[in-house]
Structure 1
């Protein structure tokens, strides 16, 4: 889980996509409008974000909307806090 998360977060484009999704759910086309890269490139970034469980997708009519999955962030923060707490207890 964490390996995929950190790999996904390592790319600045993917971090920008996550920032966009903080405001509202968007289609891949709406996301692509914010970047000067091809739509297939954005789709690949979205696929990596989905594999890391950072975003979810749902079909509404003929469009697929992407949304931010905050659960994975909570799990990562808990993992980091556990590392910190383990060191303080030693």
Structure 2
């Protein structure tokens, strides 16, 4: 989960996730939304993939990127568990 939080720290990667939340995209389609180099786009996508926040699937000559909803479910579960422990409702 540490990789996921580190990946989420970057605003470019958060924007990529927002784009992928709407629909699956290729790296080239993602790059159209940014004013950074294509190698930088690939670097960010690799970080998101290594953090398991994004899945990639080869279709012909294209690689299609999509959101890994399971990873986000795990983050949400961790957040809720964290909040429950911190709400002072634990019995002593």
> Is the pair's TM-score, using the shorter chain for normalization, greater than 0.5?
yes
Instruction: Supply the distance in 1 between the matched residues of 2:72 and 2:21 (Cα, whole angstroms).
Output: 13
Question: What is the CA distance between 1:82 and its match in structure 2?
Answer: 1.1
SS in 1 for 2:84: helix
Within 5 Å, give how 1:1-90 maps onto structure 2. 2-87=1-86, 88-90=89-91
Matched residue SS, 1:40:
helix
Secondary structure at the aligned position of 1:78 is classed as helix
SS in 1 for 2:36: coil
The alignment covers a number of residue pairs equal to 89
Distance in 2 (CA, whole Å) between partners of 1:23 and 1:82 is: 28
Moved over 4 A (4+): none
CA–CA distance in 2 between the matches of 1:85 and 1:10? 24
Unaligned 5+ segments in structure 1 are none
Shift of 1:79: 1.0
What TM-score comes out, normalization by structure 1 length? 0.93
TM-score normalised by structure 2 residue count = 0.91
Which structure would you say has the larger Rg? 2
Higher helix share: 1
